[in-house]
Structure 1
Amino acid sequence: MTVIIPSPPPPYSGRELSNPPSDGITNLIFSNHSDDLLLVSSWDKSVKLYDASANVLRGEFKQENAVLDCCFHDDSSGFSAGLDTTVRRCIFTCGKEDILGKHDAPVRCVEYSYASGQVISGSWDKTVKCWDPRGTNGKEHTLVGTYLQPERVYSLSLVGNRLVVATAGRHLNVYDLRNMSKPEQWRESSLKYQTRCVRCYPNGTGFALSSVEGRVAMEFFDLSEAGQAKKYAFKCHRKSEDGKDIVYPVNSIAFHPIYGTFATGGCDGFVNVWDGNNKKRLFQYSKYPSSIAALSFSRDGRMLAVASSYTYEYGNKPHEPDTIFVRDVKDIEVKPKPKVYPTP
């Protein structure tokens, strides 16, 4: 008789969170006010709040349709955007949910600006809207303004009073939230194909941009010749197989809050950590069971949340269950290495 010893499970990087979403994860984000709280949105119509350290589901809201994005307001509440065209506020301490407002098409992105106190939403109706979530004039909320975009909004990112909007057609608009009447800058992506994610540098000097072509571009706000000379792009999330270069979309970018290095997640199931200043890869985690749909570092930089979730790049086929992994981050993985100069 032949005894077959099963292979051990792959050494996935991190512990699995209990009670994950049952359909595609669209975003996850750690709180700016806590080192442990994690907000997650998904196609299963839910917004979930976890204590990532204790591995406990703290609260959940079920909405009318798929939830495409989420962000924190404070430790007790957050905002969500969805396929039902609404922007919602979820208050977990009392189980209350209200609608800030609507777009004319699904809302792909939502961010909360701590600098301006506004909620910013980006939609496939080719607009960005700013909302004041406070009660004014007897109303529960106020639409501050609607700003037309050249195409459907795919990704938003904030740093201080700066807002970067990435749309279809490779358009990029950079705004000052204190004067949204027109963009400070109109740009075209330096990458050749569709944008997947934009994330501002924590130091406020520029932004990173990823696309479906397995590339990341490092851009700078300074429009001087010296400032623009610093920008560059690099290939990632690719592999060679049978003499062919297989390219995977880069779905997510997350900056480390302490060191300014950043992680990228692709449809190849890998998470890579990069030192953008020195143009080097610092670390690659073990392959995850499915595409990397979203990434987020905790406020103190000690944890990295990874959404391993099939993003239907190969159509409707059987796939691994959607899972959230939380990894304890070591300095060796994210801290820039000092430059070594040759001895004269």
Structure 2
Amino acid sequence: MTVAPPSSTGRELSDPPTDGVSNIRFSNHSDHLLVSSWDKSVRLYDASADVLRGKFMHGGAVLDCCFHDDASGFTASLDHTVRRLVFNYNKEDTLGRHDAPVRCIEYSCTTGQVITGSWDKTLKCWDPRGASGQERSLVGTYTQPERVYSMSLVGNRLVVATAGRHVNVYDLRNMSQPEQRRESSLKYQTRCVRCYPNGTGYALSSVEGRVAMEFFDLSEAGQSKKYAFKCHRKTEAGKDIVYPVNAIAFHPIYGTFATGGCDGYVNVWDGDNKKRLYQYPKYTTSIAALSFSRDGRLLAVASSYTYEDGDKPHAVDAIFVRSVNEVEVKPKPKALPNLAA
């Protein structure tokens, strides 16, 4: 495992949020970066040029955001609303509402729907294609076993992680029932779930410094591949100090992944070979969110205190964009046996 030199924390973006960063997302079409925050704002950056292209203010903290395309995006807010933002015209409209704060939002390019998950223990699917000013179409509401904490989408598969360590797997083409109902293999509260880019499974992290690697294939052979590992921990004076793992981001080319923890570190992992590839220098506070650009050349890092130790003085919120070297994210080939031996 290689440790990066201190200079490689990345380039700090100007005009960052003034309160906790809830999520950061790169566009699938460009180096545009969408940032949602507890300061009630959503910021749109051109991450490669460090240009703030737009800023939208909401009525409450913004808990999640996602792109529709490079011209528009969607947001989930503490004030129960789901909004669409039109970047070039600096306009927004309300797609719909939940009965409690909206924690997660995803856009499916395969179905053209917006999916939201809320602390009201429901998922909702929306059709955003109506003309501006018309009432948006609520496609369906789907009851969850608990409050929705994290969601991830790959192809037609949606993975929903809730309080109580529940995990539901849906096929977006038939949302009437979950395709699979699961329980997290980790003992403690789920922080983040992210699907593998190849569509075979998902990674799930917890408050207790662990990540579980899960597979959709329910056969004995498929389930034999799953495992969990410890990360974002340290030993001091003989005591094991454990940090929540807040963020997971998969590299779009190599399928390796980065994790971000409350210890301020970002680690890169080779899940297939069960090895840590890289560790970046420590950031000034917790890692709240991570996102790789569409081509994997850039990694955005939100260094933002997540209040795991309550209200206390902490470093200012910052977003860093770092260039990714192939050696940091490319799996190392397994050593070949010495045939001459």
**TM-score, structure 2 length as denominator?**
0.96
Residue pair 1:12, 1:287 contacting (<8 A) in 2 also: no
Q: 2:73 is aligned with what amino acid?
A: G
Determine whether 1:124 maps to 2:119.
yes
Determine whether 1:21 maps to 2:14.
no
Within the candidate set 145, 156, 171, 1:176 is matched to: 171
Corresponding position of 1:236: 231
- Unaligned ranges ≥5, structure 1: 1-9
Within the candidate set 197, 211, 219, 1:216 is matched to: 211
Corresponding position of 1:264: 259
Deviations 1:12-54 (A, max 9, x none): 61010000000000000000111x1000000000000000011
Corresponding position of 1:326: 321
Corresponding position of 1:292: 287
Deviation at 1:140, TM superposition (A): 3.7
Within the candidate set 158, 166, 172, 2:161 is matched to: 166
Q: What's the % identity of the aligned pairs?
A: 80
Deviation at 1:76, TM superposition (A): 1.3
Whole-angstrom distance in 1 between the partners of 2:37 and 2:75: 10
Whole-angstrom distance in 1 between the partners of 2:251 and 2:26: 12
Corresponding position of 2:58: 63
Whole-angstrom distance in 2 between the partners of 1:302 and 1:61: 27
Segments ≥4 residues shifted beyond 2 Å: none
Deviations 1:313-341 (A, max 9, x none): 11111110000000000000000000003
Determine whether 1:309 maps to 2:284.
no
Q: 2:304 is aligned with what amino acid?
A: S
Whole-angstrom distance in 1 between the partners of 2:304 and 2:285: 5
Deviations 1:268-296 (A, max 9, x none): 00000000000000000000001000000
Whole-angstrom distance in 1 between the partners of 2:78 and 2:45: 23
Corresponding position of 2:246: 251
Residue pair 2:8, 2:322 contacting (<8 A) in 1 also: no
Instruction: Say which SS state the counterpart of residue 9 (structure 2) adopts.
Output: coil
Q: CA RMSD in A?
A: 1.2
Within the candidate set 88, 94, 97, 1:93 is matched to: 88
Deviations 1:191-231 (A, max 9, x none): 00000000000000000000001000000000000000000
Corresponding position of 2:29: 33
Q: 1:70 is aligned with what amino acid?
A: C
Residues 275-286 of structure 1 mapped to structure 2, 5 A cutoff? 275-286=270-281
- Unaligned ranges ≥5, structure 2: 1-5
Whole-angstrom distance in 1 between the partners of 2:220 and 2:271: 20
Corresponding position of 2:3: none
Whole-angstrom distance in 2 between the partners of 1:326 and 1:11: 12
Whole-angstrom distance in 2 between the partners of 1:12 and 1:244: 30
Whole-angstrom distance in 2 between the partners of 1:209 and 1:201: 11
Instruction: Say which SS state the counterpart of residue 332 (structure 1) adopts.
Output: helix
Whole-angstrom distance in 1 between the partners of 2:97 and 2:236: 46
Whole-angstrom distance in 2 between the partners of 1:303 and 1:290: 21
Whole-angstrom distance in 2 between the partners of 1:53 and 1:243: 44
Whole-angstrom distance in 2 between the partners of 1:132 and 1:320: 40
Corresponding position of 1:110: 105
Whole-angstrom distance in 1 between the partners of 2:200 and 2:290: 21
Residue pair 2:277, 2:328 contacting (<8 A) in 1 also: yes
Q: 2:169 is aligned with what amino acid?
A: V
Residue pair 1:16, 1:323 contacting (<8 A) in 2 also: yes
Whole-angstrom distance in 1 between the partners of 2:58 and 2:11: 28
Instruction: Say which SS state the counterpart of residue 98 (structure 1) adopts.
Output: strand
Deviations 1:229-263 (A, max 9, x none): 00000000000001000000000000000000000
Whole-angstrom distance in 2 between the partners of 1:199 and 1:33: 20
Instruction: Say which SS state the counterpart of residue 116 (structure 1) adopts.
Output: coil
Q: 1:235 is aligned with what amino acid?
A: K
Q: 1:189 is aligned with what amino acid?
A: S
Q: 1:133 is aligned with what amino acid?
A: P
